[in-house]
Every structure is written in C-alpha cells, then in structure tokens.
Amino acid sequence: MIIAVDGPSGAGKSSVCREVAKRLNWSLLDTGAIYRCVALTAMEKGVDTDPAECGKIAQALDIRFVADKSGQKVFIGERDVSKDIRTFETTQCVNRVAPMAEVRAQLLDIQRRLGQSTNTIVEGRDIGSVVFPNADLKVFYTASAHARAMRRLKEFQAKGETIDFEEVVKQIQLRDETEYNRKESPLIQCEDAIVLDTSDLDFEQSCQALMKLIQDKCGV
Ligand code: DC
C-alpha cells in the first residue's frame, strides 16, 4: 500500500505522518528530506545555483533513512545529516534547488525505489500527481495560512522567542505562491485526493483524522 500525502509547507504534515506511520507500524518516506540532502551537498560544494551540477548530485545521491527512537535519521553515505538538512541555510537553499527540473527528474527513481518496499506513507508536494500517481490513497493535507502561522507562533513562544504574527502569515502566503505556481511539479490538489483541512484540529485530532482515512481505505 502506498499513501500519498501532499500539501503546503508548515501545515504539520511531516509530524503527523511520522506519528501515524509509527502507530500503524508502516514506513514513512519524507521526500522533502531527499531534496534537502541534494541542497545541502550542492551548498557545501558551492554549486547550488547550477541546475546541471545539482542534477548530477541528485543522480549520485547515496541517501539512507535509519529508524531510531526519535523517528528517523538521514544519512548521506556514512554521514548523519539529520540536523544539517534542517538548518535555516539549507531550508533557504532547498527552496531554490527543489524547483530545478534536472533535480526533480533524477529524484523520481530514488523516491519510487524507496517508497515501494512495504506499506508506506510518502509525503511531499507532488507524490500523488507525479511520483506515485497510482497510490492506493491520496490525501491533500492542508491548513489555512492563519492556522499555520498560529502553530508557528506557538512553537516560537514555547522556545521563549517572539515573532511578528503578520510577518509569519505573509511569509507563509509567499511560500504557498511559489510552491503552487512553480513550473516544475507545482503543488496541486489531485482530483482524486481527499482533502484533510486541519485548520481547526490539534495534533492528536489531525493524527486521528489521517489514521481514519487510511484505515477506511486500507482496512488496517
Ligand atoms: O517538506 P520540506 O519542507 O522538508 O521540503 C523541503 C523542500 O523540498 C521544499 O522547498 C519543498 C520541496 N519539496 C518538493 O518540491 N517536492 C517534494 N516531493 C518534497 C519537497
């Protein structure tokens, strides 16, 4: 079984998919992490604005996901890059690298290979539309820009930091615009996807809602 979960940034899709995969004892394929590995390598080699070089990096990418207590660690070769791929710099860089056609073409095979072994939740932006168009279930996981900004605000408050709420809403809207309007594999809501709007749901309710969709469809 393959469950494709697509949706915009910052809706909490990754954490919910991770938790649901754990509860069902399924595999999780976080495709954003694959793009982040390409961006990190390209950034470290100083070629992150060169689509041909980024494509070569994607083609040669030796990525591994290793389950551990906290979820999943990500390795490039023998190097644990779990933290390095989540830094602010890598996030800025991946937003430039992920739209490159050369990169996307190379990563298709890797994603299909990694996603096909067992029951897997595959999460990203173009999973239902491009990577696994025949997925057993397609979910479009979303939340309003306002709700996503509120979640971000709470994360900052929990760390004792302050951020300007209106500024966060603006950033989220800008990022949405880029993801929905890019030329290569834009974020789209597939016609056969079930929309899961989590604007009014907390984390546990979001997990329950996704679990229910999977259970109803797959009988697990
Ligand atoms: O989900 P994330 O924030 O880790 O994704 C990192 C970047 O990769 C983000 O710019 C969106 C992009 N991405 C993509 O274009 N296609 C995917 N299937 C997954 C992520």
Residue 21 lies in a domain: yes
- Starting at the edge strand that comes first in sequence, how are the strands of the sheet with 63-68 ordered? 63-68, 71-76, 79-80
Say what the pLDDT of residue 103 is: 97
Residue 18 lies in a domain: yes
Question: For residue 117, how far is its CA from the centre of ligand 1 (angstroms)?
Answer: 22
Q: What is the pLDDT along the chain (220 residues), one digit of tens a residue?
A: 999 999 998 899 999 999 999 999 999 999 999 999 999 999 999 999 999 999 999 999 999 999 887 778 999 999 999 999 999 899 999 999 999 999 999 999 999 999 887 899 999 999 999 999 999 999 999 999 999 999 988 888 888 888 899 999 998 999 899 889 988 888 989 999 999 999 999 999 999 999 999 999 988 7
Residue 201 lies in a domain: yes
- What is the pairing mode between strands 71-76 and 27-30? unpaired
Residue nearest atom 5 in ligand 1 by C-alpha distance: 32
Ligand 1 site-directed mutation target among 13, 29, 35, 104, most atoms within 8 Å of CB: 35
Give which of 37, 44, 50 is closest to 85, Cα–Cα: 37
Ligand 1 site-directed mutation target among 37, 94, 130, most atoms within 8 Å of CB: 94
Residue 192 structure tokens: 């056969």
Ligand 1, residue 31: give the atom nearest the CA: 19
Say what the pLDDT of residue 169 is: 92
Residue nearest atom 9 in ligand 1 by C-alpha distance: 95
> Which structural domain range is residue 132 located in?
2-213
Count of structural domains within the chain: 1
Say what the pLDDT of residue 220 is: 79
Ligand 1, residue 98: give the atom nearest the CA: 15
Give which of 97, 106, 122 is closest to 40, Cα–Cα: 97
Q: What CATH number corresponds to the domain at position 30?
A: 3.40.50.300
Residue 219 lies in a domain: no
Say what the pLDDT of residue 135 is: 96
Other beta carbons less than 10 A from residue 69's beta carbon: 4
Q: Where are the alpha helices (DSSP H) in the chain?
A: 13-24, 31-45, 51-59, 88-97, 101-115, 145-158, 165-181, 203-218
Residue 218 lies in a domain: no
